[in-house]
């Protein structure tokens, strides 16, 4: 300080005694500031005299970015904070040569007002005095004070000051090259304790020479931090503003926007300017509901300053506000102004009416405003585009007049012979809607435990008492934690998300989670992060349901769905053995036309919503789990005859090693687990989105609309971080996705019912302890452990004990899965139900309900049959017999005629199996698919005994399975004649078995190796069976590695009783090599194509640093979601970062290994979808399990014809050529810098590989049309 004053030629004694910082006098001085600096004014630190008396302590020198200073004048003292700027040599030289002191330099800084903003509901920015908060709120309407005028006068006086030249010379002097430039983010921590803050003039920040990225550089996106922060902050802020609006506190959301904009001025990297209209639209919408035009104008001013262009939804929300306040035309002037702005944006009234999203009465308000401006305006609603543009399905398009005529016929028709009446359908719609509102379904467990004893009833009573105690504790804990969260000072307080749904709904979610955990496995549980996300998603799903109900979307969807189901019932007439007419309109088109007819009424069918980000969902789950872990208690004396209660946490956490990672898991208290088991729970609970629907699902008409009525579900199953494919889907024209959507809709529109006879038999076996032979899971108690107590066997005993626990855990998992499936089947045994479908990222289709569906094991498939029946017709009985023989697996190499002969010969055994399934000869139990075989035996027996088998009404599905479907697609791609023959792409008298062919080649090579003296070849004599290598051959085309193939073969060799176990590993290695070599000999084109796929993916991921993507022949964009996720850097203290695949480096190994199988999967899904669409047009029932197609016995021939025609149509397309062009256009380098030889060579190779197609042969793909065993 003495040195500072010496520079100013000022003596220390000329200053008064300073008051210690933080004292009352200083605080009082903060309220009055005299800015008329005198010659005696100076800068000084503020030492505390009490501290000076203490012994000096060594403190490490720190480079502070600011200093606390005290401005002392004759009338006041004022504490300030000013930035510290390091001067370089040139600047110091200029300072020494100048003729002014530091106080003058201090005064040269143009003073400026630092705006701060506050939040409602305790969201307060630290260090802002109350006086300043009031100044901020009234800033726009305030009159400049004397102090402000003084500052302006002072600054104006400095303009002509000759010292300014010297100051500019100092402050603009060049920094040395090694000088550190402070990050502007540091300015965020400078807080003024008064109204104005004097600052030292700062030089412009140095700009580093930016490495300009050429068009071909393809720099991986993880390094574009500003783009990440822009996207994350926009998503978080949009959702936050919306949730504040739903809480009827839009000002809170506006304060969040104001805060972001203020921070953006000083720290644009962490608080980038908002470029999207979503935040502003949410704010405009919320203030429109309050009729606050002044606030909307303020928001529009901010949007204009940020360069945000208003869209259709923006003007719809503005007009909604004007419509609410424009009473007797009092706001016509403002209406004209906004209409003028709308027209400048090239937006018309019809655009608003047709594309904006409205809630309840909002559309009428907008229409009132438009008609106030233009009285003659009549809304014109655009007809939806319902036809296909993909040339593979263009033949399914019909004329608009024909479509309208067909729709009217179905709408007006009254069908008394439908499998379901209109009254019954309306009742089912209401029941489904109520189920989705509640959110979960409770069903009775089928587990048979015998008559309940007194102890069981006592334990159930104790458990109910615990549930009641949990509910009270959870409510108290929730209110306590919410109060603490509310009082927390933060910019974006999460409190609104914890008030998004009623409190009782949060408590229900907590209790359901606690019950689920109490029934969990003793050996496995999900990680806490997964549990957090799942619980957060349940809250989010409930919020979306309530939002739809509040916005009027639920009523609109109900109206459309009721009319849709009415037409569905009218169209589904009693079926004949063969269809008598084509189905001209599909489910999507029907829904779109109904929605169009009701477009002028009520709200839109979708809600305008900003999605919650993953970090918010995790926070909600963590918040609720804190209640589960600390407020849910268990009385550990509850199972004893002790009156004293000893309450302990009902759940605890453990840490488990998963490879190199240690993960935290949640476990129930052992007493709680025992109490649950002893109470023998009578019911099971399932989420509404995991059970079948009681009415036809909502057709998918876009990526976001379809599936359940109001419960949320995704069209494509993607991990949270896979945002690239989501964006590709949203960017794609919906018309290009129609074939994919319609295939999902066709599969979902098929009604199902339970095969009650099969269900009763399975229940009998299940409750009798299960059966390994019949593949009915046994309870874990059926497993016993016996070991020797000898000390010599201690290690062996420990190993057996670990294996026992592992096996017991596997048995329990399988047993629970079967319990859920059977309990749901028993619940729906008398009902007709539907299975909504979605797909994975490759386009493979799956039913959304995970437990009760046709996509599963033999037991699962056997329980379901079609709800609609068809007469067998002239050939249906034969197809039942062929299907039965196919299920047994006994005549795989025989022709169809021989299979029919075999079925007739086995008729006695078939009838015995149907009549006495568990007490007879049980011929069906020897089958490869025993339960499906038994179901077919019963159906065949009923048809055989009917008076006229041709008129027998059959609900039974017949399967046609592809012959190693992956190899079929590879052979077709490569036009490989030899490979095509081995997988039945060509006509033949008997079915070709590719697995047997590979076995023959392997055996031939083994014999040669024996002659060469290879020992392991001799050991394998007589053990090279079809079963040993089948799985490896099947999975080779799907990218199995040699290591994986070796494990598969080793597993099969272990199951051979006579094979010497000491040779398993060496034998599996030998057979793996020989199997791969044999496949290369048989499928030369296949291996070349697979190698090309692998090389392309490897170069795309490594050279361009991007994920591999392509578009399927039916227009579905696919992006492989395999990335290496780094530790997330912090964006700011306000916005939490989260993973997004487009900002991460691709995992090269996974990208290259997964591309070949994923591309083939996308082809087989395209073939299935084409077959689905044309079967729907033909009027036949169609269901698929990937490459296994199902239909009624009488329509198998029609399905087989369509299946072959669509395979030929698909592979008549230049699939490889189109893929090569797509990859080249997306990833190639058009300009290559020759200066860097290594990089240039790599990029040239990259471009060459993308355009060098593998060689193909001359197989005629049309031969598939004549192949009987292509699908059989």
User: Which of the residues are catalytic?
Assistant: 961, 1030, 1187
DSSP string, 714-742: -SEE--TT-HHHHHHHHHS-HHHHHHHHH
> Distance between CA atoms of 638 and 643, rounded to whole angstroms?
9
7: helix, strand or coil: helix
CA 52 to chain centre: 61
Contacts of 668 (CB under 8 A, 6+ apart): 517, 518, 520, 650, 651, 676
**Token couple for 876:** 């249906």
> Residue written as tokens 């004949």?
576
Structure tokens at 810: 């596997």
Q: Distance between CA atoms of 546 and 436, rounded to whole angstroms?
A: 11
Q: Residues 6 or more apart from 293 whose CB is under 8 A from it? A: 321, 322, 325, 331, 334
Cβ contact 237:278 at 8 Å:
no
Are residues 271 and 1132 in contact, defined by beta-carbon separation less than 8 angstroms?
yes
Q: Are 256 and 242 in contact (CB under 8 A)?
A: no
Cα 1118 from Cα 1109, distance rounded (Å): 5
Q: Give the integer Cα–Cα distance in Å for 449 and 456.
A: 11
Q: How far is CA 1237 from CA 215, 216, 220, 867, 1233, in A?
A: 18, 15, 21, 68, 8
Both structure tokens of 70: 């005290």
Contact 489, 124 (CB under 8 A): yes
Query: What's the angle, vertex CA 927, arms to CA 926 and CA 932, rounded to 5?
Result: 130
Torsion of CA 1030, 1036, 1038, 1041, to 10 degrees: 120
In DSSP notation, 450-480 reads -S--HHHHHHHHHHHHHHHHHHHHHHHHHHH
Q: What distance in Å separates the CA atoms of residue 722 and residue 1263, rounded to the nearest whole number?
A: 41
3-state DSSP helix/strand/coil percent for the chain, to nearest 5?
Answer: 55, 10, 40
In contact, 391 and 609? CB cutoff 8 Å:
no
Q: How many CB atoms lie within 10 A of CB 315?
A: 24
Q: Determine the Cα–Cα distance for residues 863 and 880; give it in Å rounded to an integer.
A: 17
Burial 926-951 (b: 16+ CB within 10 A, else e): ebebbbbbbbbbbbbbbbbeeeebee
Structure tokens at 300: 């529009």
Element (H, E) at 1070: helix 1064-1082
CA distance 890 to 473: 62
CB 357 within 8 A of CB 312: no
Q: Centre a 10 Å sphere on the Cβ of residue 159 and count the other Cβ atoms it contains.
A: 8
- Is 622 exposed, middle or buried (CB count within 10 Å of its CB: 0-12, 13-18, 19+)? middle
The answer to whether 1119 and 1064 have CB atoms below 8 angstroms apart is: no
CA distance 35 to 106: 13
């Amino acid at each position: 300080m003495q040195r500072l004053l010496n520079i100013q030629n000022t003596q220390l004694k000329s200053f008064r005694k300073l008051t210690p910082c933080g004292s009352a006098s200083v605080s009082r001085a903060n309220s009055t500031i005299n800015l008329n600096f005198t010659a005696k004014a100076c800068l000084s630190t503020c030492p505390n005299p009490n501290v000076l008396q203490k012994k000096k302590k060594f403190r490490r020198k720190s480079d502070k970015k600011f200093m606390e200073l005290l401005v002392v004048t004759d009338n006041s003292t004022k504490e300030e904070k000013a930035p510290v700027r390091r001067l370089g040599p040139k600047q110091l030289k200029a300072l020494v040569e100048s003729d002014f002191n530091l106080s003058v330099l201090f005064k040269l800084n143009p003073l400026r007002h630092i705006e701060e903003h506050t939040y409602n509901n305790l969201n307060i920015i630290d260090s802002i005095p109350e006086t300043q908060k009031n100044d901020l709120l009234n800033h726009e309407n305030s009159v400049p004070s004397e102090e402000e005028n003084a500052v302006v006068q002072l600054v104006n006086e400095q303009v002509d000051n000759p010292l300014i030249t010297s100051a500019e010379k100092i402050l603009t002097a060049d920094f040395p090259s090694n000088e550190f430039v402070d990050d502007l983010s540091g300015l965020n921590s400078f807080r003024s304790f008064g109204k104005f803050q004097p600052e030292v003039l700062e030089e412009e920040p140095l700009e580093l020479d930016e490495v300009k990225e050429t068009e071909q550089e393809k720099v991986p996106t993880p390094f574009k931090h500003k783009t990440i922060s822009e996207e994350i902050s926009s998503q978080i802020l949009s959702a936050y503003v919306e949730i504040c609006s739903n809480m009827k506190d839009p000002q809170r959301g506006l304060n969040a926007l104001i805060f972001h904009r203020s921070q953006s001025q000083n720290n644009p990297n962490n608080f980038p300017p908002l470029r999207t209209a979503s935040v502003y639209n949410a704010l405009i919408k919320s203030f429109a509901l309050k009729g606050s035009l002044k606030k909307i104008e303020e928001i529009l001013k901010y949007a204009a300053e940020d360069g945000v262009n208003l869209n259709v939804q923006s003007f719809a929300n503005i007009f909604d506000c004007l419509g609410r306040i424009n009473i007797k035309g009092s706001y016509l002037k403002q209406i004209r102004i906004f209409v003028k702005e709308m027209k400048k944006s090239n937006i018309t009234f019809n655009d608003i009416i047709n594309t904006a999203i409205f809630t309840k009465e909002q559309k009428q308000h907008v229409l009132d405003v438009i008609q106030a401006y233009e009285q003659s305006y009549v809304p014109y609603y655009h007809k939806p585009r319902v036809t296909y543009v993909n040339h593979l399905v263009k033949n399914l398009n019909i004329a608009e007049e024909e479509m309208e005529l067909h729709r009217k016929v179905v709408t007006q028709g009254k069908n008394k012979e439908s499998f379901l009446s209109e009254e019954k359908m309306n009742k089912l719609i209401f029941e489904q809607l109520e189920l989705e509102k509640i959110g979960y379904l409770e069903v009775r467990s089928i587990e048979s435990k015998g008559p309940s004893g007194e102890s069981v009833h006592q334990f159930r009573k104790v458990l109910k008492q615990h549930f009641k105690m949990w509910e009270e504790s959870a409510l108290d804990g929730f209110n306590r934690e919410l109060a603490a969260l509310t009082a927390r000072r933060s910019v974006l307080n999460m409190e609104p998300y914890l008030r998004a749904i009623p409190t009782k709904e949060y408590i229900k979610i907590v209790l359901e989670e606690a019950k689920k955990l109490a029934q969990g496995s003793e050996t496995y549980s999900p990680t806490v992060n997964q549990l957090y996300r799942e619980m957060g998603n349940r809250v989010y799903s409930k919020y979306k349901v309530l939002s739809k109900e509040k916005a009027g979307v639920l009523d609109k969807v109900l109206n459309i769905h009721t009319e849709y189901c009415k037409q569905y019932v009218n169209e589904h007439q009693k079926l004949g053995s063969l269809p008598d007419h084509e189905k001209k309109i599909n489910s999507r088109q029907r829904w779109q036309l109904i929605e169009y007819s009701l477009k002028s009424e009520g709200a839109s069918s979708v809600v305008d919503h900003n999605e919650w980000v993953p970090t918010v969902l995790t926070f909600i789950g963590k918040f609720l789990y804190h209640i589960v872990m600390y407020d849910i208690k268990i009385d550990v004396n509850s199972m004893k005859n002790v009156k004293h209660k000893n309450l302990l946490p009902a759940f605890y956490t453990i840490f488990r090693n998963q490879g190199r990672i240690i993960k935290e898991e949640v476990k129930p208290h052992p007493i709680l687990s025992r109490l649950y088991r002893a109470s023998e729970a009578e019911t099971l609970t399932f989420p509404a989105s995991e059970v079948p629907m009681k009415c036809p699902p909502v057709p998918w008409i876009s990526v976001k609309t379809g599936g359940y009525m109001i419960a949320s579900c995704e069209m494509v199953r993607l991990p949270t971080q896979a945002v690239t494919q989501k964006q590709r889907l949203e960017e794609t024209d919906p018309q290009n996705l129609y074939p994919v959507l319609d295939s999902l809709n066709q599969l979902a529109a098929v009604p199902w019912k339970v095969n009650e006879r099969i269900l009763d038999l399975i229940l009998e076996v299940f409750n009798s302890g299960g059966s390994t032979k019949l593949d009915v899971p046994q309870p874990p108690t059926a497993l016993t452990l016996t070991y020797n107590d000898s000390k010599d066997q201690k290690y062996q005993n420990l190993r057996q004990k670990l294996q026992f626990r592992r096996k017991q855990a596997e048995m329990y998992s399988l047993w629970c899965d079967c319990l859920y499936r059977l309990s749901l089947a028993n619940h729906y045994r008398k009902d007709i139900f539907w299975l909504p479908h979605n797909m994975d990222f490759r386009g493979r289709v799956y039913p959304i309900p995970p437990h009760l569906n046709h996509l599963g094991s033999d037991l699962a498939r056997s329980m379901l049959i079609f709800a609609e029946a068809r007469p067998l017709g002239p050939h249906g009985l034969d197809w039942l017999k062929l299907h039965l023989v196919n299920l047994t697996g006994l005549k795989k190499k025989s022709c169809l005629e021989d299979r029919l002969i075999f079925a007739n010969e086995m008729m006695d055994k078939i009838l015995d199996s149907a009549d006495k399934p568990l007490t007879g000869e049980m011929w069906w139990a020897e089958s490869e698919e025993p339960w499906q075989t038994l179901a077919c035996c019963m159906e065949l027996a009923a048809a055989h005994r009917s008076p006229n088998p041709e008129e027998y009404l059959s609900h039974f599905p017949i399967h046609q399975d592809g012959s190693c479907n992956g190899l079929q697609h590879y052979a077709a791609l490569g036009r490989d004649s030899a490979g095509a023959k081995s997988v039945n792409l060509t006509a033949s008298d008997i079915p070709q078995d590719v697995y047997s062919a590979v076995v023959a080649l392997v055996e031939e090579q083994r014999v040669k190796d024996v002659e060469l003296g290879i020992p392991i070849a001799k050991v394998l004599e007589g053990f090279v069976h079809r079963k040993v290598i089948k799985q490896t051959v099947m999975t080779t085309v799907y990218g199995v590695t040699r290591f994986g193939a070796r494990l598969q073969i080793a597993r099969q060799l272990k199951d051979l009783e006579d094979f010497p176990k000491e040779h398993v590993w060496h034998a599996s290695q030998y057979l793996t090599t020989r199997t791969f070599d044999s496949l290369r000999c048989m499928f030369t084109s296949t291996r070349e194509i697979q190698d090309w796929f692998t090389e392309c993916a490897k170069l795309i991921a490594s050279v361009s640093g991007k994920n591999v993507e392509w578009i399927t022949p039916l227009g579905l964009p696919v992006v492989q979601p395999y990335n290496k996720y780094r530790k997330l850097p912090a964006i700011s203290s306000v916005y939490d970062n989260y993973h997004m695949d487009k900002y991460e480096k691709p995992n090269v190994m996974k990208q290259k290994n997964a591309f070949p199988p994923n591309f083939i999967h996308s082809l087989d899904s395209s073939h299935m979808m084409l077959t689905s669409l044309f079967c729907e047009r033909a009027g036949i029932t169609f269901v698929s399990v990937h490459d296994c197609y199902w239909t009624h016995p009488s329509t198998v021939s029609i399905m087989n014809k369509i299946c072959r025609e669509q395979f030929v149509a698909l592979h008549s397309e230049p699939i490889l050529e189109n893929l090569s062009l797509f990859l080249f256009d997306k990833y190639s380098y058009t300009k290559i810098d020759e200066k860097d030889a290594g990089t240039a060579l790599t990029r040239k190779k990259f471009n060459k590989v993308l355009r060098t197609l593998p060689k193909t042969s001359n197989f005629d793909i049309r031969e598939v049309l004549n192949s009987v065993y292509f699908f059989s």
